[in-house]
């Protein structure tokens, strides 16, 4: 993989090169009176053709590029739909999803059901999380970090493949 600003390019002699959006960093925009958040400038190009926003785990919101969401949805289609947990997860994920296109200033409107789910107030945190973006209430993000930073250190050997 080779890093290209906000994108990674997969290298392979067997497959055509594919550019994948990679979102990095922590940003602190404000939710305005029209319930809009300004996305970080370095995320805007990847999201210019549209995005999908839905509920995420840990009471945050998740945003994918349209292409990224399509890929994620395809992986869910391959899961066994006869499993109750799969059906429950896909119902909530898709029923809560909204598509949007950022305006010229990079703003997106957060629907009331998603604002309520994530407990968003004026102070928000936008987190780059690889192929997706997460939007958190600032207080919820601070609490999440306080409770997980030590486990982040402890899990390195379990989560990251060696070699």
Answer yes or no: is 11 within a domain: no
- The whole-number average pLDDT for the span 21-48 is 95
Question: What integer pLDDT is reported at residue 70 of this predicted model?
Answer: 94
**How many domains, in total, are found in the chain?**
1
Query: Which residue in 137, 118, 107, 102 sits closest to 32, CA to CA?
Result: 107
**What confidence tens digit (pLDDT) does each residue in 4-14 have?**
445 444 444 45
Question: What integer pLDDT is reported at residue 102 of this predicted model?
Answer: 97
- The whole-number average pLDDT for the span 33-50 is 96
Answer yes or no: is 12 within a domain: no
Main-chain dihedrals φ then ψ at residue 156, nearest 5 degrees:
-50, -50
Question: What integer pLDDT is reported at residue 2 of this predicted model?
Answer: 45
| Buried b or exposed e, range 9-33, using 16+ CB within 10 angstroms | eeeeeeeeeeebbbbeeebebebee
Answer yes or no: is 132 within a domain: yes
Answer yes or no: is 7 within a domain: no
- Domain of 48? 23-148
Q: What is the pTM of this model?
A: 0.83
**What confidence tens digit (pLDDT) does each residue in 119-139 have?**
999 999 999 999 999 999 999
Task: Report percent pLDDT > 90 for the chain.
Answer: 71
CATH of the domain at 126: 3.40.1550.20
């Amino acid at each position: 993989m080779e890093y290209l600003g906000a994108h990674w390019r997969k290298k392979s002699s067997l497959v055509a090169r594919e550019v994948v959006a990679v979102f990095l960093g922590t940003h602190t925009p404000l939710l305005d009176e029209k319930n809009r958040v300004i996305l970080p400038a370095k995320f805007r190009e990847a999201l210019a053709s549209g995005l999908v926003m839905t509920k995420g785990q840990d009471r945050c919101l998740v945003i994918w590029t349209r292409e990224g969401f399509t890929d994620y949805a395809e992986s869910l289609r391959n899961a066994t739909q006869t499993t109750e947990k799969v059906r429950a997860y896909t119902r909530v994920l898709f029923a809560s999803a909204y598509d949007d296109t950022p305006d010229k200033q990079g703003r997106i409107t957060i629907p009331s059901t998603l604002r309520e789910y994530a407990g968003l107030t004026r102070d928000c945190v936008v987190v780059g999380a690889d192929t997706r973006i997460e939007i958190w209430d600032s207080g919820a993000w601070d609490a999440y970090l306080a409770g997980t930073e030590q486990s982040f250190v402890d899990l390195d050997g379990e989560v990251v493949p060696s070699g």
